Structure 1
Amino acid sequence: MRGENLTVGYFAQHQLDSLDSKATPLLHLQRLAPTEREQTLRDFLGGFDFRGARLDEPVLNFSGGEKARLALALIAWENPNLLLLDEPTNHLDLEMRLALTMALQEFGGAVLVVSHDRHLLKSTTDDFLLVADGRVQEFDGDLDDYTRWLADYRLRNAPVSNTPVNADKTDKKAQRQQAAALRQQLAPHKREADKLERELGLVNETLAKAEAALADSTNYDAANKDKLRDLLAEQAKLKVRESELEDAWMQALELLESMQAELEALS
């Protein structure tokens, strides 16, 4: 049942194509707020890094990241109390990804987000929904639990070998050769997964140190503004690297589990 005062803001990648390619960012916002002062609109768009001449350039010349920023700005202007976000960080640069994460952390309404950005999910969500086998249900766990669940799910749903019990020796020999080849392929993938896990651990440690330094109030003194700027830049850079490594590690684990399931099916 829709709430009486519910206002919904919806963002998806296909919305970028619905922007008026001949209109400027300022004109897009003026269409939403025709009675608002132009300077107010310019100031608002400046918060999304649309400043100077860029405010008056047509969207046609914009990159995917700039179009995404504009779409998010138009949603933010309408001040919804429910946000539906489908891969909101696609095309966004590091600074805007961090800004979006911080904005969602401070958002007073409800957010439903679909994303492969593990850092965004870790930083902005309280609960997870699991979509599998045609059903949607609450997931009791975090992203690491989901990685383990996915690996187990792939194993449970791996194709079962339908080779007849009385298969001839040629078929069995071919299976053994295929299994041996698969075991050889497993080794380098296992090393790569272990390497990613170690690198992720190092990044996590470095990020923890940077965040501990940011928790030190002395770093916010005027005399330490350069140090603070460097710390914030390092934190943002490490968070992106952490997200990249987590994605790569998860993909490596999924591949390993898939290969192991295939190997078991050959046994």
Structure 2
Amino acid sequence: MKSALVTGANKGVGYETARQLLQKGLFVYLGSRKIENGLKAVEKLKAEGLDHLKAIQIDVTDQESINAARIEIGKSTKVLDALINNAGISGGGFPQTSINSGIDTYKEVFDTNLFGVVRVTQSFIDLLRKSPEPRIVNVSSSGCSITLHSDPSWEFYHHKAAVYGPSKAALNMYTVCLAYELRETAFKVNAVDPGFIATDFNNHNGTDTAENAGGRIAKYAIIGQDGPNGKFISEFHNPETGEIPW
């Protein structure tokens, strides 16, 4: 049975990603910053008959927490097939301005959205290397596309997020570098945009569902060897090829 770790999976898009991976037959380690929230999510999924999962306490801003999660998961498996770096924060309400957003807010958001992904990926890369088809999905956002945000004709051109956007743009560059470094292996590493989703993350101000978003992310967590690598994917914005510009 293949296995996956999903961070920030106790609710929203992460929860739906975990649910759909379970439906596809994977064993899922459901990462949650607060273990009690993770345990509640596990009970909900078990009530649906999805029982190949375990709640894992993991705070992506805390290396000790990540180390403990690595030890806990290592007790039950020597191989991890997929890592979905989903945990993220917005840095407050939208819109966000470059002038009025404090440096502490920038540090807090980057600590989760970029540095957290680096910490978790580096900590679990050894288990991923043992998989015959390892996958890393970094949950990104079309809202960090520099190309799209420079185009006045883009539908979300006026929806600027001066803190959140740069953090995800940096995550995209990390994704490109990671995919390049692993290019001669079986890894597939991609940045995937779930879409404009109505969840607690944006006070349910969205046009699509977490269920649809979870399906988009889960797809790239189990993509075949002929699938993309080092790409920026948004099937929400480009259902034909999936790719959007950086």
Q: Structure 2 length normalisation: TM-score?
A: 0.28
Tell which structure's C-alpha radius of gyration is larger. Answer: 1
- Structure with more helix by fraction: 1
